[in-house]
Amino acid sequence: MSATVSGLGATAFTRLDAYPTRALDSSSLTAVDHSAPLLPTWGKLIDSVLDIHNLRDDWDGEGSEAPAPGAVDGALHLAMALRDRQERPADRVVPSVNGTVYFEWHLPDAYREIEVTGPSRAEVRIVQKGSDAVEAFVIGL
């Protein structure tokens, strides 16, 4: 007995991301709305976290340590949890030079980042537009 596998793209999970669409014509056909701003999808962000997992020491050519496996595991867990809650995808996810993983949102009214520091811990920082005060707190994953 053989199994059939259908390709859903190169992402690491099987849920399709929503794309902004618009009506193509009056017969209810839709097309991707290219006038809508393109944001990374959770699928692409999850793929980026998986890429971060493969980084080694000196990944940036400046001597930075490789992201800690626990931080990458926590980042993957966080990304999937936010995706499942249908949160707005981060604008980007990046490794830090000290072995953690950052998610960043550049919102119209605020800048928000989540730094995943371990498998079950992250630090959230929010700066409201026009403010220099930082709201910071720790969350469990």
pLDDT in tens, 55-72: 999 999 999 999 999 999
Q: What is the pLDDT of residue 26?
A: 53
134 token code pair: 């930082």
Question: Is this model's pTM higher than 0.75 or not?
Answer: no
Which pLDDT score, from 0 to 100, does residue 131 have? Answer: 92
